[in-house]
Structure 1
Amino acid sequence: MKRAVVKIEIGSKDDGLISSAMGQIKYPARPRLRIGVKRVRVSGYINPDPLDKNSKCECAHHSCGCCVHLEAEIIELNSKLCTQVTYLSKSYGISFILDLNDKVIVNKTTTVEELSHKCYNVPQSKRVVQICVGFYKVEESNNQLSCCLEAILNVKNDRIARAVFGCFHMPASHV
């Protein structure tokens, strides 16, 4: 099992630092970062699913868990963001858990058709901070689910970082 650290660093327009490694970030950085963001770091650990070498998720049977490390000095955020996705069945949908530093932010069951980008407020943040989680490339066939997952860090409705967890494939749990 190989492990690697993924790190994305961006800087404000003033300091000119814009770099990324094994992550995805939109370039050029938006000059709307008026809140004084100097540095944002997003890192995660990779444990590739044999079906997707770029995945940062670990899967077992009908469930996948993914984690990234989010750090933004200006908002005093230094946290581990994790998701747990369990494919129940075509009729039941998925169970989705999102936690920040082992505190559950979201725990819900939803249909596959309802999977999309949803934003959740970061509890006890000093500024208006949201973590948005998005499912994309969602395909359900033969009682299996394949999809990709990303997280976006927003401060005052401005996107300041994006981390791509990767893609995973799960059979249904036959609940």
Structure 2
Amino acid sequence: MITQLIHSGANSIPRSKSMHDAKYASILTPIGKIGISVLNSKLESISWLSESSPLIEPDDQSTKYIASELSNYFMNPNYRFNVDMMLVGTPFQKRVWEALINIPPGQVMTYGELAKQLSTSPRAVGGACKANPIPIIVPCHRVVAMNSLGGFFGEQSGHMMDIKTWLLRHEGAKL
């Protein structure tokens, strides 16, 4: 079960009043280093880190818990996250992110299908996916183009598309 604390704003960087209020950690995963930011025990962001980024061990209860949840997913693609999230975005982005959470592992939906469900355009859905502050848990990787994988965080090829492909294969999606 995923619960959320939703605030206004559309920025995907940590949104705490003071950067010192948030707890940070980074973990090594099969798709590289991932950074996590937690504020008041709520997951605020997941980010992709470069190989040269130092590992920051989770050292408090909230970051250890999020790291454990992600580890469980990487061991079992059907793992159901139980994470409190602080999703920050526009009302439209939040609608898209809520819809993403309902796409089961191993399944995909096209940008057009999701757009039709939400009475909007495929391009708008893609923009909301690109702005997603909590990838993997809010699974924007499960949205694809009609005839291809589409993009991933603004990229049409390269490392981010390798991550999208890996996540979809990990979940058993037919590519």
Structure 1 length-normalised TM: 0.29
Greater strand share, 1 or 2?
1
Greater helix share, 1 or 2?
2
Q: Which has the higher Rg, Structure 1 or Structure 2? A: 1
Structure 2 length-normalised TM: 0.29
